[in-house]
Amino acid sequence: MTMLPTIVNYQRHVIICAGKTCDSTGDRTLVHYLKSELEARGIGSDRVRVNRAGCLGVCTQGAIMCIYPEAVWYCRIDQASIDRIIDTHLIGGDVVTDLVMHRNQYDAPMGSQP
């Protein structure tokens, strides 16, 4: 039997777009910035898990960052907004409403029509 990997019980999952429009230089500046600012605040991957994604399909609003379990999609993020999101959302627990593009609702049962 194959052993499954162990995943710690992290508190938030952040997905940041590193697609060609959101990361036009291809150097993952925002991903690196987010990780370094989390580290500077003493927040490790055991609390906030960060993954980059390819295009999330809303390039005109990029750069895009999604945070779960709140299912919040932040748009037009830059380094200044990353600082706000870390301090207000990831540390403070409050959504940064003026940066929200979409907040998914999970109250409909799977397979139902919206």
One DSSP character per residue, 49-98 reads EEEEES--S-GGG-S-EEEETTTEEE-S--HHHHHHIIIIIIIT----GG
Q: Does 65 bind ligand FES (CB under 6 A)?
A: no
Q: Is 31 in the site for ligand FES (CB under 6 A)?
A: no
Q: Which residue is nearest to ligand FES (CB)?
A: 19
Q: Binding residue for ligand FES (CB under 6 A) from 16, 34, 38, 56?
A: 56
* Minimum distance, C-beta of residue 18 to ligand FES, in the bound complex (Å): 8
| 29 lines the binding site for ligand FES (CB under 6 A) | no
Q: Which helix (H) or strand (E) holds 33?
A: helix 29-40
CA distances from 31 to 5, 34, 49, 66 (A): 24, 5, 12, 12
Q: How far is the CB of 54 from ligand FES (least distance, A)?
A: 7
Q: Is 75 in the site for ligand FES (CB under 6 A)?
A: no
Residues engaged in binding ligand FES (CB under 6 A):
17, 19-22, 55-59, 62, 64
